Amino acid sequence: MRRGLKGDVEIAGEAAKLAINIARPGLADLAAILDDAFAYWLEHEEPYPTQDGVIPHSPRAELLNALMRIRMPSYKELRSYATDPRSDVKDIATGKIIELLRPSDGPRVQFLNDICSEALPPNLLSKALDSMAPLNSEELALWEGLLYIKNPKIRFSAMSLLHEGNLDPTRVRDLAHAMTGDKEQQIRDRAYRILDKL
């Protein structure tokens, strides 16, 4: 299998699918092979197009799926996968990050700090809210702080907190009203829509 995972990209993809079928917790030797193959393809796959173009084949998403059947990557590993240029790898990682945020003792504070520092894409905020609710006071304070951050994409995504049921309506009104003065039209428009629903 090791040779197949590092050969032709199509053969490597089929070998990775086979690995998904046989992977299960405790197969440390297989995990080492998959880790090695993932690193190999990270270096040797054709570049992902930044504009238009054909998306080249890569077995990395299947390799990551197989690895996750053996062991759950750490939050730090998932964070790096969530910023991968390949959308298939990114989608797998972000789904797992959202799962990790469900328990109240999950890496919620780290996640919010990573959004703040732009180590994770801001669009994860709206996806995460349902998993994280209800938020504790520290998480609420961090999330509210994102409404005032310099990056408008983060501010816009953080506005998901202002939708029904997450905060006291008076607090929602105050925050949304403040955001009607934002420099970004999209944020102002969303703030007015939120106020209209109160």
Residue 86 three-state SS: coil
Answer whether 145's CB lies under 8 Å from 114's CB.
no
Domain termination residue (choose one: 21, 52, 71): 71
Answer yes or no: is 86 within a domain. Answer: no
pLDDT tens for 38-90 read 999 999 988 777 777 778 889 999 999 999 999 999 999 999 999 998 999 99
User: Does residue 112 sit within a domain?
Assistant: yes
Look at residue 95 and tell me if it is in a domain.
no
192 and 120 together in one domain: yes
Locus of tokens 């790898």 = 89
Query: First-to-last CA distance in the chain?
Result: 59
Q: How much is the pLDDT for 45?
A: 85
Length of the chain: 198
Residue 2 in contact with residue 19, Cβ under 8 Å?
no
Q: Which residues contact 125 (CB under 8 A, 6 or more apart)?
A: 115, 143, 146, 154, 157, 158, 160
pLDDT score for 186: 97
- The whole-number pLDDT of residue 49 equals 74
Backbone angles phi, psi at 104, to 5 degrees: -65, -20
Residues 48 and 123 in one domain: no
- Is 87 part of a structural domain of the chain? no
pLDDT computed for residue 2 by the predictor = 77
**What burial class does residue 141 get, using C-beta atoms within 10 Å of its C-beta: 0-12 exposed, 13-18 middle, 19+ buried?**
exposed
Angstrom distance (rounded) from CA 11 to CA 2: 11
Mean pLDDT by 10 residues, the chain (198 residues): 84 92 95 94 83 84 96 93 93 95 94 96 90 91 95 96 88 96 97 94
Our count of domains for the chain comes to 2
Q: Which two tokens stand for residue 123?
A: 């669009």
Name the domain boundary from 47, 71, 95.
Answer: 71
What percentage of residues in the chain have a pLDDT greater than 70? 100
**Is 194 exposed, middle or buried (CB count within 10 Å of its CB: 0-12, 13-18, 19+)?**
buried
**Could you tell me the residue range of the domain that residue 162 belongs to?**
107-198
Residue 101 lies in a domain: no
Q: Helix, strand, coil: what percent of the chain each, to 5?
A: 65, 0, 35
